[in-house]
Amino acid sequence: MSEENGAETLGTVLIAQREPQDQQFVQVLLSTFGKFNVVEANSSAGVIRGLFAQPDLILVDPLIRGDFLRAVELMRRMPKLNHVAIVGLSGDLSQAARVSGKGFNAFISKPFKPESLLAQVWKTLDSQPLPPGDGSPVELNVDIDQIEGLPTLPTVYAQVEQLCADPHVDAEELAKVIETDPSITMKLLKLSNSAFFGFTREIKSIGDAVSLLGNETVKNAVLSISVFEATKDMEDSAGIDRKMFWQHATAVGSAVRFIAKKMKIQREESFTAGILHDIGKIVLDGLFAEFYKGTLEAVESEKQSILEAEERTIGLTHTKLGHELSESWGIPGGLSNAILYHHRPKSSDSDAELASLVHIADACARNLGFGSGGDPYVPTIQPFAMEHLAVGGNDLMVWEEEMKQVIEKDMAFLSAIA
């Protein structure tokens, strides 16, 4: 039960119908006879905006303007909304099969009897879990791998990761696996011969590269190349400049490696952590462009950071989605943790070291003006990160010019893999 304008209601229903007359009929039926507070939307993007009214149920025609199945994929990534029921209401019976297994709780076909619609709404609401904070655990009920078009890593990465789990694997065996993927082979050789590593002699084979670089460095290089390969063909975009995005990611990776070296912190995956830290933005920009446009507009109009704009406009952050994606890819825990906590390393329950490195490096790369992370703002570095790594208050200022030169050199990484 809730109260709306002093009157007791049975809850809030968000409705979105394709035809105006259907919208009006359902609105009157639910508000007058069902005693529900009704919120209306006329597009998929409007449904996402309507979520901030905290509906208990969404009654939607899947054929409304925009890609509503994308909206459902977005909603089902948000634990605080996972108690919200979604009921399809359409005169197109083929939609019942289309939405099956996509996170819908029920489907009602048109035409319908008014009492049947009300009965289905009440039944669905009765079967839903309590909202978060009301005593019941809420779990995501749509696995991330069910998101249509989700980038997948080349199979060679999983094989390399498995081989490198054995510290005694020889260079020849590792090279043979990498060479099964011509694109990664070519880019790894190009990277090995670039200024990024700075070898004075030509590296002519993958076996040679593995012998010189070592298993861990090669594994992390393969991961970075694989992520770039997996996301490069995402054609839709809400407006993220991909070239500037990867320049920023490369700069952060370089800064992470630079700071780790200065502080004598041994982290082979330091550069890769920077490359991956914002990967969730690429997925939001490419797969959820219809909804992420509002986020980027809020960055500009409200002068917000992209993280704040994500929380306000779609309720899902690039850190959370990136973390889920990295886990589905089988990326090691330290890297996955850094993706999730690089904006708030103090909250990290494990490996705050790498999260702190990325946190500081992100601010440094932004301050030096390399690329773009989607907004023009330089975040304030949390004191926890500085203290955790024992970085002195003046260290970053002293290192600034040297760090800039190193980042400029490390841009060879991007030239090699692009």
| Residue 2's pLDDT band (cuts 50, 70, 90) | low
Virtual CA dihedral for 216, 222, 223, 229, nearest 10 degrees?
170
87, 57 Cβ separation under 8 angstroms: yes
| Residue 78's pLDDT band (cuts 50, 70, 90) | confident
Quick one: 249 and 196 in the same domain?
Answer: no
Quick one: 320 and 377 in the same domain?
Answer: yes
Domain-ending residue, one of 79, 108, 142: 142
- The residue to which tokens 């049947």 are assigned: 116
Give the CATH number of the domain where residue 72 resides.
3.40.50.2300
In Å, how far are 201, 240, 362, 370 from 244, measured between CA atoms? 31, 8, 14, 8
> What is the pLDDT of the chain when averaged over all its residues?
92
Instruction: Name the percent of the chain lying above pLDDT 70.
Output: 95
Spatial separation of the C-alpha atoms in residues 251 and 365, rounded to whole Å: 6
Tokens describing residue 211 = 């012998």
**Which of 82-91, 121-130, 389-398 bottoms out in mean pLDDT, i.e. has the lowest?**
121-130
Tokens describing residue 93 = 């019976």
Instruction: Name the percent of the chain lying above pLDDT 90.
Output: 79
- Judged against a pLDDT cut of 90, whether residue 137 lies above it is answered with no
Give the CATH number of the domain where residue 408 resides.
1.10.3210.10
How wide is the angle at C-alpha 55 spanned by C-alphas 31 and 59, nearest 5°?
65
Quick one: 136 and 163 in the same domain?
Answer: no
Quick one: 103 and 15 in the same domain?
Answer: yes
Quick one: 257 and 121 in the same domain?
Answer: no
Quick one: 171 and 98 in the same domain?
Answer: no
354, 273 Cβ separation under 8 angstroms: yes
365, 371 Cβ separation under 8 angstroms: yes
Tokens describing residue 312 = 């306000």
Domain-ending residue, one of 211, 232, 253: 232
Identity of residue 154: P
The contacts of residue 198 (CB under 8 Å, 6+ apart) are none
Quick one: 217 and 240 in the same domain?
Answer: no
Higher pLDDT, 69 or 134: 69
Give 263: exposed, middle or buried? Use CB within 10 Å, 0-12, 13-18, 19+: middle
Domain-ending residue, one of 199, 232, 265: 232
Quick one: 278 and 315 in the same domain?
Answer: yes
Quick one: 256 and 337 in the same domain?
Answer: yes
Residue-number span of the structural domain to which 70 is assigned: 2-142
Quick one: 77 and 188 in the same domain?
Answer: no
Higher pLDDT, 9 or 277: 277
Quick one: 156 and 220 in the same domain?
Answer: yes
What total of structural domains would you count in the chain? 3
| Residue 393's pLDDT band (cuts 50, 70, 90) | confident
Spatial separation of the C-alpha atoms in residues 374 and 237, rounded to whole Å: 12
pLDDT score of 239: 96
The contacts of residue 95 (CB under 8 Å, 6+ apart) are 61, 62, 63, 88, 107
DSSP code, position 31: I
DSSP letters spanning 273-308: HHHHTTHHHHHHHHHSHHHHHHHHHHHHHS---HHH
How wide is the angle at C-alpha 377 spanned by C-alphas 373 and 382, nearest 5°?
95
Higher pLDDT, 97 or 246: 246
Spatial separation of the C-alpha atoms in residues 192 and 23, rounded to whole Å: 60
Identity of residue 387: E
The contacts of residue 194 (CB under 8 Å, 6+ apart) are 412, 413, 415, 416
57, 13 Cβ separation under 8 angstroms: yes
Quick one: 74 and 104 in the same domain?
Answer: yes
Segment 141-161 mean pLDDT: 87
